[in-house]
A = this chain, B = another copy of it.
Amino acid sequence: MEELLERLLEECRPFTGKGRVADYIPELAKGDPDALGIYVIGSEGKHAWAGDCRRPFTIQSVVKPILLLQALLDNGAEFVTRRVGVEATGKPFDAINAGDQALDSGNINPMVNMGAIVMCSLIYGRSYDERFQRLLELTRRLAGDGEIGVDEAVYRSEKSHGSKNRALAYLLKFHGLLEDDVEEVLDCYFRACSIQADCRALAHIGAVLSNRGRLPASNERVFPAAMSRYVNAVLMTCGMYDGSGEFALRVGVPAKSGVGGGIMAVVPTRMGIGIFGPALDRKGNSVAGIRLLERLSQELYLSIF
């Protein structure tokens, strides 16, 4: 396996030149466009890796499935579905009109920013500090890494360049879909996006989702199997922004990308995969990362279709 990963990584590395590092906040613009790493954890617990797989980066939107899991654990599927819905929006992740119909129909996808902000408000806790701590604990457990923390520089950068997210949150509040103080909710959201991880952590999270909610090695249950089906289904239809359809064709597994360059992929019953490649395509997905997953899918017949 390691040999295969090394070979494919070298084959795909030139694709890093086809993308650009995210620059909507200054801190992210500092990313290394040439970096590329992959880490694979089998459902039964075997590890394999190649490239820059232990380099830290902020998970950004990869936190969305974790937010969804925490919201599901705290409120149950029925409540969450009624609050954020599950249909694709057909719009960019931060579109102010992602919710045109959605705001009326009460259907805001949990994989776009509006839905993720609502999910922050659904996490239980007496304060937003407590809510974030609970989310961080879940992240650490899913990632198999108790050391995981927040990249403070990115967090501050997100917070001071967060006008679009503030617009989205106030729009939610206007429509009665957000009750708490906007700045408090967003602070939790900005912290969540700034959690620092590496390929290994993402692979571990994917492995739990592939293993129906149980940790890969110990088989200890973190969440019910039904919730992993819920999250995987949502990732399949909208995990890769408005490139989700093409990703389903080319790779064929549930996955979530972040503008920090990370991709967390789930191969149901088989494995979790973590990718790092900060050079992004125009939709916000790692160019070389998707290519690497496509090649791996071809070689190992990973597509679930």
Seen from chain A, the residues whose Cβ lies within 8 Å of a Cβ on chain B are: 81, 85-91, 96-97, 100-101, 109, 163-164, 166-171, 173-174, 182, 228-230, 232-234, 236-238, 242-246, 248-249, 252, 254, 268, 303-305
Contacts and interface: CB of A to CB of B under 8 A. Distances in A.
Nearest to A92: B101
In terms of DSSP, what is the predominant structure of the interface of chain A? Answer: helix
Nearest to A87: B245
B249 A86 contact: yes
A243 B88 CA distance: 9
A59 to B, nearest CB: 22
Contacts of A303: 229, 233
Contacts of A230: 249
Most B-side CB within 10 Å, residue of A182, A244, A245? A245
Nearest to A169: B167
Contacts of A88: 88-90, 237-238, 244-245
A171 to B, nearest CB: 4
A91 B268 CA distance: 29
Contacts of A101: 90
Contacts of A254: 305
Given A97-B100, A303-B229, A87 B244 contact: yes
Contact of A236 (B89, B236, B246): B236
Contacts of A174: 163-164, 167
Contacts of A96: 96-97, 171
Contacts of A233: 245, 248-249, 252, 303, 305
A13 B166 CA distance: 44
